[in-house]
A and B are shown apart, each in its own frame.
Chain A
Amino acid sequence: MDTFLQVLAAQMQPSVLLTMALCVVVGMIIGAIPGLTVSIAVALAVPIAIFMPREYAFVMLASLYAAGVYGGSVSAILLKAPGTPASAATAIDGYAMSQQGLSRKALNISLLASTFGSMFSIVLLVTFAPLLANFALKFGPVEMAGLLLFTYTIVGAVSGDSMVKGLFSAALGIALATVGSDPMLGVPRFTYGNTSLLDGLTYIPLLVGLFAIAEVLKHASERFPSWSKKVSLSTADKDRNRLTRQDYRTIAMPMVRGSLIGSFVGLMPGIGSTISAFLAYADAKRAAGASGRFGEGDIRAVAAAESSNNATGGATFIPTLALGIPGDAVTAIILGAMVMLGVQPGPLLFVTNPDVVYTIYIVLFMSTVMMVIIGLVATRALVWVLAIPNLYLMPVVALTCVAGSFVVRNNVLDIVVMLAAGILAFIFGRLRIPVAPLLISFIVTPPFEEAVRQSLAYSRGSMMVFLTNWFSVAAIVVSIAVVVLVALSQRRRTVPA
């Protein structure tokens, strides 16, 4: 309790609150701009965050994440162009509402649902993360190896629309993670005498390249197109856009169900908020039945999708903090930043650094509150931001990426890695190969390799150690089941009826 109160007092400092407010604004802006996702916002912040005191770094990263997911709904509703992939489901009915002169109503429902979803998942995070961490404290290397094997399979099998491509991305991430020193013996692998590679491929240039540079290259390949649609909120009819008591009653259940779906998805590594939003949309549509006007501007659709994608955000921190396994691409980025700041996520985090855990809880809560306040007053400003031409925006993003990647070690190799990662992710985008499995696999491979080799050292090389441990057997069985089920479901989709 003492630690919690100390952290709370530290978070109430004016400088911290100001940093949080600024990051909420920046997160909303970047999330709102089509082409700049919340992943890019957090990825661009990491090179700055690692130079800051730890508490400010976590404030920056968590606030950007919380606000960025909501920000994506603004352009989804106003332009039918989701600012972040998680808002793609919102765009369907949100834009339809906008076309009917109900843009303000759609934005307010989005804000309300986002806040509800965030708060819901923060409560789950505070409740279940310590329980999971307590359970995971009993894990040895065998259990850890089983859990990480499950992570690889679920990340590869469920990300994107093709399991082969997801697993390919994950396998490539594993291969890239082997560059550097072997985790058990320190044997240099694929460094070719370059001491800069002894610690492996530097994390920041890799993630900045995979997420930000790839997006910039995509826009460059389309000659930096700008949005031709003009947006104006000034003509919106105030009476029609007001939320009535009936509206609140109508969206209540979709928000609760959306939050439950989003939280469950957030617990599973690699699935992410985009899929959770569509699952919640489909669930709300099914629940509405004949009375639904989904696709034509149904408020339940906006409420379900937005509460779900924000609920995923808080819930993804549960496996990230408690197990050291990132729940999605953004928490993978944040996990990497935590390691660079000298904090090792995992069950011991709750014992050795409870202040970090409380900081994340409090920042997520307070940034959600700030998001509501700023979202209610700053919608016009967000609309103005959407008018910035891509031609000016994207090269500036590229500039920030190069500077951010270089300053980590003042090493030209890092910006080469950044560009190579950007080109790779650009090709991935064209071929619809998901990038998140690559990053998540890159992060979990060193602990996976260590766990497997420690297990085999304990069993003197016998693989039976994995088949005589109940947790490991369960993880292997579930992994195989996931692969088989996903393969069958994808096959059913491609075979004509």
Chain B
Amino acid sequence: MNRVFSGSVALLALFFLFVMIPGLDTEAFGGAHVQATGLGPAAVPYFAGTAVLILSVVMFFQAPPVREEDVPIAWKPLGLFVALLVAFMLAMPRVGFLVSAIVFLAATFLLFGARSRIVALLVAVAVPVVLDLLLRDVFLIPLPTFPDF
């Protein structure tokens, strides 16, 4: 994973340095300032991009971390959870917080093997309702609601 990650970051850093930064319109609001100081809006991005590139290349050649307690990643459950989370994120602005949160929690608890289905469903309903009441009525933070058709 170390090599995949650091290699990918190195490639992204090259893209950042040679495509994204040159695409900046640094003359937009004041070429005079750049001439006077020698440093324009692209300076810090170039510095950061170069540092990321060099350090990711060093990391690529470093030995991966060895940790005795490292638990192997179970990709399927992780992928499933991320998919459920993304679905919740997309649904929330459209169908409201309550409905999407209840469905998200219920689906997660049941698909991940909650011991008691009744407890799982109770928690899946109770937590979003309490959270919604707390945020909306106590802290006055408006959450998305189910649209009126």
User: How big is the A interface, by class?
Assistant: 35 or more
Interchain CA distance A416-B28 in the complex, whole Å = 29
A452 CB to nearest B CB, Å? 7
B12 to chain A, nearest CB (A): 10
Decide yes or no whether A1 CB sits under 8 A from chain B.
no
Task: Specify which of A52, A216, A224, A453 is in contact with B37 (CB 8 Å cutoff).
Answer: A453
| Shortest beta-carbon distance from B137 to chain A in Å | 13
Contact across chains for B39 and A452 when beta carbons are under 8 A apart = yes
For window 438-491 of A, CB contacts with B under 8 Å fall at 445, 449, 452-453, 456-457, 460-461
Specify which chain B residues have a CB less than 8 angstroms from the CB of A432 in the assembled complex.
Answer: 65, 67
Interface residues in B21-54 (C-beta closer than 8 Å to A): 24-26, 28-30, 33, 36-41, 43-45, 47-49, 51-52
A147-190: which residues lie under 8 A (CB-CB) from chain B?
Answer: 162, 164-165, 167-168, 171-172, 174-175, 178, 182, 184-190
Give the complex CA separation of A214 and B144 in angstroms.
24
Would you call A220 and B77 a contact (CB within 8 A)?
Answer: yes
In the complex formed, the residue of A with least CB distance to B49 is A175
Q: Which residues of B contact A245 (CB under 8 A)?
A: none
List B contacts of A185 (CB < 8 A). 28-30, 33, 40-41
Pairwise interchain contact A461-B36, C-beta atoms closer than 8 A: yes
Interface of B is mostly: helix
Minimum CB–CB distance from B70 to chain A (whole Å) comes to 8
Contacts of B37 in A (CB 8 A): 453, 456-457, 460-461
- Identify B104's interface contact among A190, A399, A410, CB under 8 A: A399
With known contacts A185-B30, A187-B26, A392-B123, A164–B58 Cβ distance under 8 A: yes
Encoded as 1 (CB less than 8 Å from any B CB) or 0, chain A from 385 to 408 comes to: 000000110011011101100110
Q: Does A427 contact B (CB under 8 A)?
A: yes
Contact of A178 among B33, B44, B85 (CB under 8 A): B44
- Is B74 interfacial (CB 8 A cutoff)? yes
Of B1, B40, B82, B85, chain A has the most CB atoms within 10 Å of the CB of B85
With beta carbons under 8 angstroms apart, the residue of A167, A184, A395 that contacts B51 is A167
Compute how far the CA of A175 lies from the CA of B53 in the bound complex, rounded to whole angstroms. Answer: 11
Determine whether the beta carbon of B39 is less than 8 Å from that of A406.
no
CB of B74 within 8 A of CB of A222, answer yes
Instruction: State the CA gap A83–B133 with chains docked (Å).
Output: 28
Q: Report B71-129 residues with CB < 8 Å from chain A CB.
A: 71, 73-75, 77-78, 81-82, 85-86, 88-90, 92-93, 97, 101, 104-105, 108-109, 112-114, 120, 123, 127-128
CB pair A51–B139 under 8 Å, yes or no, is yes
With both chains docked as a complex, state the minimum distance between the C-beta of B127 and any C-beta of chain A, in angstroms: 5
A352 at the interface (CB under 8 A from B): no
Q: Is A97 an interface residue (CB 8 A)?
A: no
- A105–B105 Cα distance when bound, in Å, is 39
Query: Contact residues of A with B, CB < 8 Å?
Result: 47-48, 51-52, 162, 164-165, 167-168, 171-172, 174-175, 178, 182, 184-190, 216-217, 220-224, 391-392, 395-396, 398-400, 402-403, 406-407, 410, 412, 415-416, 419, 423, 427, 430-432, 445, 449, 452-453, 456-457, 460-461
In addition to A51-B139, A460-B36, 5 A-B residue pairs with Cβ atoms within 8 Å of each other are: A48-B139, A174-B44, A189-B24, A190-B20, A224-B112
